Amino acid sequence: MSNIRSRIVGCGSYLPERIVTNRELAERLDTSDDWIIARTGIKERHIAADGELTSDLALRASKQALGHALLEAGAVDLIIVCTTTPDDTFPATATRVQAELGITEGIAFDIQAVCSGFVYGLTVADNFIKAGQVETALVIGAETYSRILDWEDRGTCVLFGDGAGAVVLRAGTSDAAIPGEMGWGQAQGILSTHLHSDGRYRDILYVDGGPSATQTVGHLRMSGREVFRHAVTDLAAVAKESLDANGVGIDAVDWIVPHQANQRIIDGVARKLGISLDRVIVTVDRHANTSAASIPLALDQGISDGRIKRGDLVLLEAMGGGLTWGAALVRW
């Protein structure tokens, strides 16, 4: 077996300038700040400006991640944009990011696994690196959900926001240290990833449009309660799976960086796993659900405010439309 391991050597994020509060939404919808906070924990979300595209958000997060890693864009040989809201049907948003970064070689493509997208993208990049096919990968979660929301549907439109987060992965061996702004660390990188899909549940969270089916973009539709039920059960199970695979218990985990869909889901999973909320990075209150962008956005928050430190054991977990779900255990 290869002893190559993917190290996360840089992290970055970007949120559109415009913040929309619950109160603003309540001015034009039959909802309230109290309802949204009580049911979801969300207080506000960022919304992209007219003409601000998923690729624009992705590019800003990528530049920050590359800067954090002290790497030039030319070092990147794989770009994966995890998104459900690409700029265009094709070509992939990743190719636009590649061009904007001035990269003319290597591989660039998108991954669509809805809110689990970032964990899926991280897994694919990790496997490329472990196979020795690439040395440096940029994995970006970027979304403009504001473009696929039905702004008349109070059951869904209050839940989502726009944003992007990115990480830079580099090939290393388990015992080699890596240079970077974060110092010569004892980090060991991605320890394992665990993915699942179950298409029987594809109609509890979906978009009612698409190039082949309707030739329209469509709007997000969700049976919230059903998704909620699956989320808590599946996320706790996949988190446990990742701990078992590495022979560690929850007490060894320094931080959980969960997908940020709903504070009640985050609380429920933490309770099932037996971990204190003090060790969970939460951004859902300020970002709402940014789908594939939520984990790298929260990760960047935890790193930049100094909570996540080199050597920490970090568990990432997500669940989304498909249904898809997954987890990654990372020694930071």
Q: Return the active site residues.
A: 115, 259, 289
Q: How far is the CB of 245 from ligand UT7 (least distance, A)?
A: 24
How far is C-alpha 228 from the chain's CA centre? 18
Q: Which is nearer to ligand UT7, 10 or 165 (CB)?
A: 165
Length of the chain: 332
Residue with smallest beta-carbon separation from ligand UT7: 224
Q: Which is nearer to ligand UT7, 129 or 238 (CB)?
A: 238
How far is it, in rounded angstroms, from Cα 116 to Cα 235?
11
Q: Which helix (H) or strand (E) holds 97?
A: helix 93-100
The residues of the shown chain that bind ligand UT7, judged by CB under 6 A, are: 31, 35-36, 39-40, 115, 154-155, 158-159, 205, 224-225, 227-228, 231, 261-262, 265, 289, 319-320
Q: Which is nearer to ligand UT7, 40 or 93 (CB)?
A: 40
Q: How far is the CB of 258 from ligand UT7 (least distance, A)?
A: 10
b/e per residue, 139-160, with b = 16+ CB within 10 A? bbbbbbbbebbeeeebebbbbb
**How many CB atoms sit inside 10 A of residue 207's CB?**
20
Q: How far is the CB of 12 from ligand UT7 (least distance, A)?
A: 22
Q: How far is the CB of 4 from ligand UT7 (least distance, A)?
A: 32
Q: How far is the CB of 11 from ligand UT7 (least distance, A)?
A: 21
How far is it, in rounded angstroms, from Cα 225 to Cα 107?
39
User: Are the CB atoms for 60 and 52 separated by under 8 Å?
Assistant: no
Q: Which residues contact 240 (CB under 8 A, 6 or more apart)?
A: 273
How far is it, in rounded angstroms, from Cα 258 to Cα 321?
16
Q: Which is nearer to ligand UT7, 71 or 238 (CB)?
A: 238
Q: Which is nearer to ligand UT7, 13 or 262 (CB)?
A: 262
